[in-house]
Structure 1
Amino acid sequence: MEALAPTPVVPSYGSSALSDVVPSLAASLGVDGWGNALGVPEASRWVLLLVDGLGDLNLAEAAADAPFLSGLRSAGGRLTAGVPSTTVTSITSLGTALPPGQHGMLGYSFRNPVGGGLLNALLWENGLSAYDIQPRLTAFERLARSGVTLTSVSPARFAGTGLTEAALRGARFQPVPDENDDAARIAWTADAAASGEKSLVYLYERSLDHTGHGQGWRTPAWRSTLRRIDGFAARLRAALPSEARLLITGDHGMVDAPRDRWLIVEDVPGLGSDLTLFAGEGRFRQLYAEPKRVPEVRKRWAATLGERAWVLTREEAIEAGWFGPMDPRMASRLGDVVVAMRDDGAVMTRSQPREFGLVGMHGSLTELETRVPLLVA
């Protein structure tokens, strides 16, 4: 069982957060108007490899299974993911160079600002435009206008999806039909890195997260997947043009949440009362209620979970800096009350039965979930 996190890890927006990666690379490329907060070296070509689910502490514990990545870690740094520490939020922060409070992609699911109801930001909705949800220019769009050649090498099924368009528009999309074809992915990435006078290639690898969700991260299966990714990253580095540099990071870490540590909402009488919408994921829930009922909802959930979770109102979480500066237009998307787990438990609901198949989870503000590596080769 994981120990209680003593305090939430509030992201270091503006100095060492995922939203600082692309600005630092842009400054390294010599593009005016960007700051190199991360201090990355100058280069004319960069490849940004995002390994979904690669937490810094997860990698440290499995260092022997990842000699290439661990070797870079010894000389590298650490970043903080945004809040919640989940793929939708992190990829959008990476691609827009904005903290969550500015881009508004506030989790796996949150209140849909177009017509209300629940928006699942991975599945999206028919007829809903990415511009309806995330209208700000992405960092890739801005860099493309400055003459940088941008390419996104990602699974073919993600082409044109709501999340891709909200977070990564501006880059040429190179579809990957077979995610297991590492040779093809490396060849496409190397070719893209050699394009133009200055280039930035975004490469997405998701198998570690998939294994962790299904089997847990402290398992032989997870370590086997990490070994494969480690070898892939080493071969990728070797195949890149000599003038190119490789930056590797993750979008979040992972906590194994055993079933005996779950709180199932329907099993606690009255816990779900007064809720008009229930969003987020097991480690970071967003609760929506009528304004006059919010204090009672917060009190009830805080009493039920006790020290197991940080239970804050929307205003308290914003004031604490969890989401960075909050655009007032985005605030109403966030739950009136947010529940972030401090232990290795999760808040589950029978209304979302697919989540009952998860072992590894993320979303909260613990060290395991929030710290991600900054590796430069």
Structure 2
Amino acid sequence: MPRYGVAALADLLPAIASAQGVPGLTTGLTLEPADRACVFLVDGLGWEALSAHPEEAPFLGSLLGDAQGATGRPLTCGFPSTTATSLASVGTGLPPGEHGLLGYAVRNPDTGELMNQLRWQPWTDPHGWQPHPTVFQQAHAAGVATCQVSAPHFEHTPLTQVALSGGTFHGRLAAEERMDLAAERLGAGDRALVYTYYAELDGHGHRYGMDSDAWRGQLQYVDRLAQRLAEQLPPRSVLYVTADHGMVDVPDTAAARFDFDEDWELSAGVARLGGEGRLRHLYAVPGAASDVAAVWREVLADQAWVATRDEACALGWFGPRVEARVRERIGDVVVAMSGEAAVIASRAEPNESALVGMHGSATSAEQLVPLLEVRAQ
């Protein structure tokens, strides 16, 4: 279960900003105050995967909690463990049930269509979909020098608008330039909050799997980037390295890949299939939700946790509170895969179905992300 309010991604920025004197932010996560703080978010860097590869990531490994003098610890990313959901949690400081980005693709209750919250298709008014202010906006209003340093193409995306906006945006293509500029901007004010991001570790995990030279090479590169940034920290600053989710490799076998498009039992009674391979939102035809839940429990057996919408909300999967405006975005049935299995859709989602590495569910490999800390005096 995500540790909302205590040790979840949604608690990170409120803990940082409140320690900088930004009012109105509360969290149970306690961090040592710093005038200047930088968050370096590495897409797809799970705690378990990082811990399992000390040779590829010696610098980051030296920050893990089992290293001498290190304070690194895992956070839970929240549910589902996917990029759109986690970035919204990071930026707003809210659990998914409040910010409303509840997965990779969910049904828009107003139109009945599936809305991809990463690509923002079909177009939906961003601030109508997610109306809460970001922590960056609140910090900027409180006089903290706030900025985002990322790839230029992210500047005007709807996801950036609703999750990460506030202060200034600095676009740089080269990751090394982003690290250098993040350190520079960190020293630009007496109080500063800087966010920077790297995406390609996740991309290589999806395409090649974590048991690949390509993924390990990316981890080595991420390690060098983090060290480059850490070595340039100005005085009175702290660097936090974290991630939006972990990942699991899904074997290319029929036993591990349940194909919704080829399985009449799984597709019966399902009007729309949302989510992604490791976490599915099932939108049932009217009156069929309980039957759909029963069939999926039987077919998937011990390969998944299957809950109705009411059960998932009551269990707190999406946070302690689910706002009324977002409740119907949740599937009538929610399916979180365990082990290494996935529910693919070979015809409707050919590209996603071919991925090796996947995420979205509630296993520790997907849920646990690092919170690694480097401080400059």
1:36 and 1:268, CA in 2 relative to 1: closer, same or farther beyond 3 A?
A: closer
Q: Does 1:353 align with 2:364?
A: no
Query: Post-superposition shift, 1:270?
Result: 3.4
Give the Cα–Cα distance (whole angstroms) in 1 for the partners of residues 6 and 176 of structure 2: 35
* Residue matched to 2:20: 29
Give the Cα–Cα distance (whole angstroms) in 2 for the partners of residues 371 and 80 of structure 1: 5
Opposite residue 149 of structure 1, the aligned amino acid is: A
Query: Post-superposition shift, 1:40?
Result: 1.6
CA RMSD after TM alignment: 1.3
Q: Does 1:224 align with 2:209?
A: no
* Residue matched to 1:282: 277
Equivalent pairs: percent with the same residue?
42
- C-alpha distance after superposition, 1:152-190 (max 9, x if no partner): 1111111211111111121311112x2xx2332122112
- C-alpha distance after superposition, 1:186-228 (max 9, x if no partner): 2211221112221100001111101100000122221111111
Q: Does 1:184 align with 2:177?
A: yes
Q: Does 1:313 align with 2:313?
A: no
Give the Cα–Cα distance (whole angstroms) in 1 for the partners of residues 64 and 189 of structure 2: 30
Paired residues of 2:91 and 2:164 also in contact (CA < 8 A): yes
Give the Cα–Cα distance (whole angstroms) in 2 for the partners of residues 347 and 113 of structure 1: 23
Paired residues of 1:152 and 1:174 also in contact (CA < 8 A): yes
* Residue matched to 2:10: 19
Query: Post-superposition shift, 1:82?
Result: 0.9
Matching of residues 1-377 of structure 1 within 5 Å: 10-35=1-26, 37-74=28-65, 75=70, 76-125=72-121, 127-176=123-172, 178=173, 181-260=174-253, 261-324=256-319, 325-349=321-345, 350-377=347-374
Q: Which runs of 5+ in 1 are unaligned?
A: 1-9
Paired residues of 1:113 and 1:133 also in contact (CA < 8 A): no
Query: Post-superposition shift, 1:36?
Result: 5.8
Paired residues of 1:19 and 1:97 also in contact (CA < 8 A): yes
- Alignment size in residue pairs: 365
TM score, norm. by length of structure 1: 0.94
Give the Cα–Cα distance (whole angstroms) in 1 for the partners of residues 205 and 130 of structure 2: 29
Give the Cα–Cα distance (whole angstroms) in 2 for the partners of residues 159 and 286 of structure 1: 29
Query: Post-superposition shift, 1:269?
Result: 2.3
Dislocated runs of 4+, deviation >2 Å: 30-39, 113-116, 125-129
Opposite residue 233 of structure 1, the aligned amino acid is: A
Q: Which runs of 5+ in 2 are unaligned?
A: none
- C-alpha distance after superposition, 1:268-291 (max 9, x if no partner): 223212222111000001100134
Opposite residue 137 of structure 2, the aligned amino acid is: E
Give the Cα–Cα distance (whole angstroms) in 1 for the partners of residues 113 and 27 of structure 2: 39
Give the Cα–Cα distance (whole angstroms) in 1 for the partners of residues 187 and 307 of structure 2: 48
Query: Post-superposition shift, 1:114?
Result: 4.1
